[in-house]
Amino acid sequence: MLRATLVTLAAFGIALAAQAQPERGPATPTPQTETITDPDAIAARLRFWATDSGDPVYFGEVRNVDARSRRVLGHYQCLAIAFIRYEAGVFHYYHKMWARSPDGSCRYDDVTSRRVGNRGLCVRDNQANGPRAPATARMTKDNFDWQNGRFRTIDTRARRVGETPACVPPNGAAAGLFSLQIVGDRFRLITTRPLSYELNMAPQDPRSPPTAPVF
């Protein structure tokens, strides 16, 4: 009898505790990061010199990629890209890459004093005497012959990234294209070299480049 009473009281206490629990509303959904992979949709999010009154430049970095897993790794070089035009799945672009400063920053606002590690071979730069010469990474329309240059391309049809045959005959000098996408506010191009070219999607005036990290 006593045991039955204790069991009944315990059940009653559990019921009261359950009724005292505050009601919970529906769980707040986790915001989903938008990912864009269609080349036309990616182009629609970019600004191109051929159709823009200004000369917007995108800043970011090149990162190493694990060749087997395609996992993006750490920093390789600093990066600035100007997208020139887009035609039927082909992005024409001009880029410059350079090493970090001794303090570990890319110093987007002070790059004229350091050697550019990599840039387009067939675009005449007013401040460089050859493709490996010191040059400014401040890319403006009046700094080089952007209307007549033979630019590097991201060819989403042929799945190739780099110099075209018009620049480096007979076959060009290009890596394969592994993936191209916009993820949130980041443009990401991964080649089979393998490297990942990553840009902040907010274009900047090259005359007033970022003074802080862009990621």
Give residue limits of the domains in the chain: 35-200
Q: pLDDT at residue 18 above 60?
A: no
Task: Give residue 2's pLDDT band: very low, low, confident or very high (50, 70, 90).
Answer: very low
Q: How far apart are CA 98 and CA 194, in angstroms?
A: 18
Give the pLDDT of residue 184: 95
Cα atoms in the Cβ-side hemisphere of radius 13 Å centred on 167: 20
Give the pLDDT of residue 28: 61
Mean pLDDT of the chain: 84
Give the pLDDT of residue 149: 83
Cβ 48 vs Cβ 85: under 8 Å? yes
